Structure formats: structure tokens, C-alpha cells
Amino acid sequence: MAEYYQKWRNGTSRGRSTKTSNGLAAIQVQLNNLGREIKKVNEIVYAAQVGCEQCKGPHYTKDCPLKEEGKNPYYT
């Protein structure tokens, strides 16, 4: 323990701590990116499950391509 304390006071053991901190920061960035990707996938799955009210397609009603054309294949 005395040896570790001496290394810590001299600053020689801090490199490991910095590497650990940088590694943890990198992991946190990856987790944040993964969280964003999961959110995107969940939105796509929800849209596919709920579907469009106009054409029953696997997208939100607000994103329906028929909305722009003013057409509905079920009422033509």
C-alpha cells in the first residue's frame, strides 16, 4: 500500500486512472448512440404496428404519400 501511495504522489499511477476515465467516457458515448438508434427503431416499429389511417401502410398518417396527392386507394 505504501508503494501505491508513493506512485500516486509521484503521478505515475494516474495514467491508469486517466485511461479508465477515457474508456468510460467512450463507452458512455457508445451507449448514448445506441440509445438513439434504439429510439429510431422503436419509432419505426410503432409506425408499422399502428399504421397509416389513410392507406393502412407501415408509416404514420402524417407521412402518408397519398396525403400530398389527396387520394385514398380505398375511396377512389
pLDDT tens-digit map of 34-59: 999 999 999 888 888 888 888 888 88
pTM of whole model > 0.75? Answer: no
Q: What percentage of the chain carries pLDDT values higher than 70?
A: 79
Residue 47 to residues 24, 56, 67, Cα–Cα distance (Å): 35, 10, 16
Is residue 16 very low, low, confident or very high in pLDDT (cuts 50, 70, 90)? low
Is the distance from CB of 52 to CB of 59 less than 8 angstroms?
A: yes
**pLDDT at site 76:** 43
Least confident of 2-6, 9-13, 19-23, 43-47: 9-13
